[in-house]
A = this chain, B = another copy of it.
């Protein structure tokens, strides 16, 4: 018999207990041993929980108990870090769904865990077994790219904006009413949640030890119906993507709204669903699709990890048993990203303006791929929507800066990166 203790018995924690109890028939058959949840720690014992295990308000009681596996579902970073490190020191195996904890502490935790399993399938893309796919199923490949819809809230909002023409503020309000977005939605719509998940995937694929502060993160709060209409006209969908890309000299890691060609499989992933497309040098293109959040879907991944531990499988935490020196991959500076761009400008409606604007691009060695001019609500102004061929972020930003100095450019209304 294997005993499981849970620190943080909220929605996911209650689902974990429920699955372990209600699906015990298949779980014990698949694991080869009975797996019993015995104790859970909660912040307040006053709140009623739908679980019939012993509850305590002291996490130490769980990690000092006779459980074999500690499941960490607390949220936050520093408090769970203490709980997980102490659990490992006590010789417990650990399962966590905590992407923020891993975004900051995965390498220390890997070292501390040593031969003890520390699994985290639920931390990225909820119920989709993408950690297993990357760590095991695609392990023969040099990973060329990972492109993921890693935040269901943003994908729900963008899908609504595109399919129903709803504005950002309206759709945010609706997402909050439905419980898809928090009262303070920054963590989701600002791209930080997706960035945490991307960093975890990038560790497995490339062994890169970066923190959220080190990478380019942009949210979806600047996306407007002008962008949506442009995207439709030119055959793109707009998605918040986490992107990891291997280049000659290193790896690009970035999270931003992206115009993606509507024939890419990831462009068809709508609503709260998540999906991760992985290209390997040998396997080619793969994609993994499913629910990225929700108590049961996330708990499904947590329990899968528990079963793996019960089976005696170890799998190196971050996918490597030896260092990744062979690849010598470094995180590329965000300014060195190479991609295509869409930019929207508000300019004066008179002759010669287009020439002045496009000159700035050509002077900086950036060639323009498409141009669309639309009437503006304001008299004597038009919207100028341009896309570029591939160029360096550094050069593009310098164009943006120079455009601001032109008299004829009244406002830079923002830009969106493009992936084909």
- Which residues does A use to contact B, with CB under 8 Å? 15, 19, 23-33, 121, 127-129, 132-133, 136-142, 207, 265, 268, 280-291, 294, 296-297, 299-304, 306-308, 311-316, 319-327
Contact = CB atoms under 8 A, between A and B. Distances in A.
A142 B23 CA distance: 7
B316 A140 contact: no
B140 A299 contact: yes
A28 B322 contact: yes
Contact of A268 (B141, B265, B286): B265
A209 to B, nearest CB: 15
A127 B137 CA distance: 8
Given A284-B127, A288-B288, A314-B311, A27 B322 contact: no
Nearest to A269: B265
Q: For chain A, what secondary structure do more than half of its interface residues adopt (helix, strand, loop), or is it mixed?
A: mixed
Contacts of A31: 139, 321
Sort A-B residue pairs by CB-CB distance and give the 7 closest, nearest first: A129-B137, A32-B321, A25-B326, A140-B303, A286-B290, A127-B283, A283-B300
22 contacts: A23-B141, A25-B326, A26-B139, A29-B207, A30-B316, A30-B321, A31-B321, A32-B321, A33-B321, A129-B137, A132-B137, A133-B133, A140-B303, A140-B304, A265-B268, A282-B300, A283-B290, A284-B290, A284-B291, A284-B296, A286-B289, A311-B316
Given A29-B320, A133-B132, A322-B29, A141 B284 contact: no
A258 B313 CA distance: 39
B315 A311 contact: yes
Nearest to A311: B315
Contacts of A322: 28-29, 32
Contact of A139 (B137, B304, B315, B319): B304
Given A19-B282, A129-B136, A286-B290, 18 more contacts: A19-B140, A23-B141, A25-B326, A26-B142, A28-B322, A29-B321, A29-B327, A132-B137, A137-B301, A137-B304, A138-B304, A139-B303, A139-B307, A140-B300, A282-B296, A288-B288, A311-B314, A312-B314
Given A300-B141, A311-B314, A287 B286 contact: no
A29 B319 CA distance: 9
A27 to B, nearest CB: 6
Contact of A133 (B25, B129, B142): B129
A23 B140 contact: yes
A286 B315 CA distance: 23
Contacts of A302: 140
A129 B138 contact: yes
A254 to B, nearest CB: 23
Contacts of A324: 26, 29
Nearest to A132: B137
Contacts of A141: 23, 26, 300
B26 A326 contact: yes
Contact of A297 (B127, B284, B289, B294): B284
A268 B287 CA distance: 13
A285 B302 CA distance: 17
A138 B320 contact: no
Nearest to A296: B282
A23 B282 CA distance: 10
A334 to B, nearest CB: 25
A40 to B, nearest CB: 18
Contact of A289 (B138, B288, B300): B288
Contacts of A326: 24-26, 28-29
